[in-house]
């Protein structure tokens, strides 16, 4: 197993001393090379599951294991793509992409060469010397993808990475992500509130309940790969799945 969450519960204490339970007895297993999507009502604690896997959040009860070892610190084999822009605005695009290797002690020349090849892969080879504010939202997301993929993560965590993009750009980015992922063969945990995005991308969809979140149901998505975003959503199987998952989710949204 690439990732195992074993009966994890999380209790947050806010700065003014109030306790809230974000996750309750939550278990989840992600296999090597598997693409998993996590959906649930807003604010239920979806992102918290990712925080647990990175080690930035510690579980109150239960255990989190990555590659069989208990998570203690940020694991170098993990990559993370954030919902908001987390690229560094004071670094040029190529220096942003090279950030990971540079932090990890690669020589500057080598890191920049590597970054250049990654810029080519996400179609930004002519924008290396631009600053992030000069790019469109979709291009900045590509920078973020290249910045993460350059570290060759065996586990990729994504927290609603495309939710701020417009519809067309989002579909393009989803295709891009599937391409990059199929070349790398890592495991992906993709958190989203967009049901169709989850079904279109994932091998399995985890549906969470309202807060305090726990696992409601797991759906196997046996749509054939490679998938094309603009085609997959019109298949009858896709429509049937989204109807089922939506009825599951609707109950939770009502409760919330």
Partner 1 sequence: MTSTTSNIETTVASRHAPLSAEALAREEAAARKRIRGRQTLVISLRILFLVVVLGGWEIGARRGWIDPFFYSQPSAIVDQLVVWFRDGTSQGPLWEQVWITLEETLLGFVIGAVGGVVCGIILGRNKLLADVFSIYIKVANSIPRVVLGSIFVIALGLGMASKVALAVVMVFFVVFGNAFQGVREADRYMIANAKILGASPRQVTTAVVIPSAMSWILASLHVSFGFALVGAVVGEFLGAKQGIGLLISAAQGSFNASGVFAAMIVLAVVALAVDFILTTMETRLLKWRPQQF
Q: Which of 114, 131, 163, 194 binds partner 1 (CB under 8 A)?
A: 131
Please identify, among the stretches 61-69, 70-78, 119-127, 220-228, the one whose residues bind partner 1 according to the rule CB under 8 A.
Answer: 70-78
The continuous run of DSSP H or E covering 181 comes out as helix 167-184
Please tell me whether residue 56 binds partner 1 under the rule CB under 8 A: yes
The token duo for 140 is 């900045």
3-state secondary structure of 166: coil
Q: For residues 46 and 48, give the distance between their C-alpha atoms in angstroms, rounded to a whole number.
A: 5
Q: Which of 90, 109, 220, 247 binds partner 1 (CB under 8 A)?
A: 90
Q: Which of 88, 114, 196, 223 binds partner 1 (CB under 8 A)?
A: 88
Please tell me whether residue 246 binds partner 1 under the rule CB under 8 A: no
Q: Which of 82, 175, 216, 235 binds partner 1 (CB under 8 A)?
A: 82
Please tell me whether residue 112 binds partner 1 under the rule CB under 8 A: no
The residue (of 130 and 233) whose beta carbon lies closer to partner 1 is 130
Q: Which of 5, 10, 71, 78 binds partner 1 (CB under 8 A)?
A: 78
Residues in contact with 224: Cβ distance below 8 Å, sequence separation at least 6, in sequence order: none
Question: What's the half-sphere exposure (Cβ side, CA atoms, 13 Å) at 242?
Answer: 19
Residues in contact with 212: Cβ distance below 8 Å, sequence separation at least 6, in sequence order: 9, 20, 21, 22, 23, 24, 45
The residue (of 163 and 235) whose beta carbon lies closer to partner 1 is 163
Site for partner 1 in 143-172 (CB under 8 A): 147-148, 151
The residue (of 38 and 157) whose beta carbon lies closer to partner 1 is 157
Q: Which of 103, 107, 110, 250 binds partner 1 (CB under 8 A)?
A: 103
At residue 174's C-alpha, the angle toward residues 84 and 165, to 5°, is 40
**47 closest CA partner among 185, 127, 157, 150:** 157
The residue (of 79 and 212) whose beta carbon lies closer to partner 1 is 79
Please tell me whether residue 86 binds partner 1 under the rule CB under 8 A: yes
Q: Which of 43, 89, 123, 256 binds partner 1 (CB under 8 A)?
A: 89
Q: For residues 164 and 83, give the distance between their C-alpha atoms in angstroms, rounded to a whole number.
A: 7
Cis peptide before 212 (omega within 30 of 0): yes
**139 closest CA partner among 117, 120, 124, 121:** 124
Total residues binding partner 1 (CB under 8 A): 25
Q: Which residues bind partner 1 (CB under 8 A)?
A: 54, 56, 74, 76, 78-80, 82, 84, 86-92, 99-100, 103-104, 131, 133, 147-148, 151
């Amino acid at each position: 197993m690439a990732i195992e969450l074993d009966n994890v519960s999380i209790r947050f204490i806010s700065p003014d001393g109030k306790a809230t339970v974000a996750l309750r007895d939550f278990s989840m297993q992600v296999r090597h090379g598997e693409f998993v999507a996590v959906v649930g009502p807003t604010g239920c604690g979806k992102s918290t599951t990712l925080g647990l896997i990175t080690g930035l959040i510690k579980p109150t009860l239960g255990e989190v294991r990555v590659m069989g070892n208990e998570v203690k610190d940020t694991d170098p084999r993990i990559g993370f793509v954030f919902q908001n822009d987390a690229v560094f605005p004071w670094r040029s695009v190529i220096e942003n992409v090279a950030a990971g290797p540079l932090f990890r002690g690669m020589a500057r020349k080598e890191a920049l060469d590597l970054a250049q090849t990654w810029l080519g892969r996400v179609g930004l080879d002519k924008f290396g010397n631009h600053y992030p504010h000069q790019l469109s939202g979709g291009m900045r997301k590509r920078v973020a993808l290249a910045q993460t993929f350059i570290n060759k993560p065996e586990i990729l965590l994504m927290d609603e990475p495309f939710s701020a993009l417009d519809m067309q750009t989002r579909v393009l980015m989803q295709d891009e992500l599937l391409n990059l992922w199929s070349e790398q063969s890592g495991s992906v945990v993709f958190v989203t509130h967009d049901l169709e995005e989850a079904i279109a991308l994932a091998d399995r969809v985890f549906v969470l309940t309202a807060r305090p979140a726990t696992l409601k149901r797991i759906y196997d998505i046996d749509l054939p790969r490679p998938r094309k975003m603009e085609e997959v959503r019109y298949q009858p199987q896709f429509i049937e799945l989204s109807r089922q998952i939506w009825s599951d989710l609707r109950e939770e949204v009502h409760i919330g």
